[in-house]
Amino acid sequence: MLDYSKAMQPEFSYVADHCTVSPIISGYNIAFGKMTSDCAELRTRIEISFPASMFQQQLITTTRDFFDQIPKDPDDPVIEKRTFTDPEKIQTFRSNNVMVGAWGDEAVADFYYLSPADFGMAAKSQVSDIRLTPVVRVTMSIGLLRDFLEKCHVFDKGLRPVADEKG
């Protein structure tokens, strides 16, 4: 288990009010967008490429219980499914680790990258030596976080985390 309290906060921050999640050749594409004030089009968008194995093993398994605890609000202003044309510029990132959190009606998803060397340390249970490289922080409403996780969990292959042999 990684200790996110020791992780650096991502330097880059993005405020989102729209998201999509879709499979791609290299895993999954997680896209967050900021709509124009009339909600007619996307002003900006970021895309986060997430490898398939870590999407299932890290994102899905670590958010499963959290997702179940987020209340579904029928009055939530999350925009219905719509297709937008691409904005003029799109920023792309690569991540293989995410930490989500919520308080009140606000939520955050901090995306990180774990290097192959750090994966090796994790396999040897040297968790204290692992360095999470901050990628981007996405802030959003609690409703959009629920929508994001719901879109991710559509791809849940039902794998459960392996029980800790010590406990």
Render pLDDT for 14-67 as a digit per residue (tens, 0 to 9): 999 999 999 999 899 999 999 999 888 999 999 999 999 999 989 999 898 888
Could you tell me which residue, 123 or 97, shows the higher pLDDT? 97
Model confidence, pTM: 0.84
Render pLDDT for 7-20 as a digit per residue (tens, 0 to 9): 777 889 999 999 99
Which single residue is written with the structure tokens 């060397």?
A: 117
Q: What is the amino acid identity at position 167?
A: G
- What ranges make up the beta strands (E) of the chain? 13-15, 18-24, 27-35, 42-50, 90-94, 97-103, 106-113, 133-141
